[in-house]
Amino acid sequence: MIHSSIILFDGVCILCNSSVQYIIRHDPKAVFSFATLQSDTGQLLLQKFNLPQQHLNSIILIQDDTAYQKSTAVLKIARQLSGAVKIFYGFIIVPAFIRDAVYTFIARNRYKWFGQKNECMIPGPALQKRFLK
């Protein structure tokens, strides 16, 4: 299976896991595959795109051999989902430094506000093919 759109996420972050579950529900064509930032695949992809391997504060979208981070990744993902969430892509016109400041504020507080798991989520059998190890 070729994975052309890969989302890297913090596997122990409850907000991040909830976001992945939302993406799965609104991705009927199964466009996205997933890997945790902590996984071997996640670490290899971070290395490939010259991103810090210990940097776990951003969702990363890898698409068309480009790595998108923070708010740009979120907006590009939202644009490809079904439902009203697509309208959020309109925020792409806001300068990235402003969007990323909001993203960074939320990312910095995500464990405090939403909690943290002791280990990464384990997808059920129906979803395992979409999760890279």
8 and 62 Cβ atoms separated by less than 8 Å: yes
pLDDT confidence of residue 122: 64
pLDDT confidence of residue 53: 80
- Average pLDDT over every residue of 81-107: 95
pLDDT per residue over 41-77, tens digit each? 999 999 999 998 876 788 999 999 999 999 999 999 9
Residues 6+ apart with CB under 8 A from 101: none
Take residue 70 and report the two structure tokens written for it. Answer: 């923070």
- Identify the residue whose tokens are 């740009």: 72
- For the cut 60, the answer to whether the pLDDT of residue 1 exceeds it is no
pLDDT per residue over 9-42, tens digit each? 988 888 888 899 999 999 999 999 999 998 999 9
Measured in whole angstroms, the distance separating CA 49 from the mean position of its chain's CA atoms is 15
Take residue 41 and report the two structure tokens written for it. Answer: 């695949």
Gap between the Cα atoms of 73 and 44, Å rounded? 19
- Identify the residue whose tokens are 């071997």: 40
DSSP 127: T
- Is residue 30 classed as helix, strand or coil in its secondary structure? coil
pLDDT confidence of residue 128: 73
pLDDT confidence of residue 48: 94
Name the residue ranges covered by the structural domains of the chain. Answer: 5-130
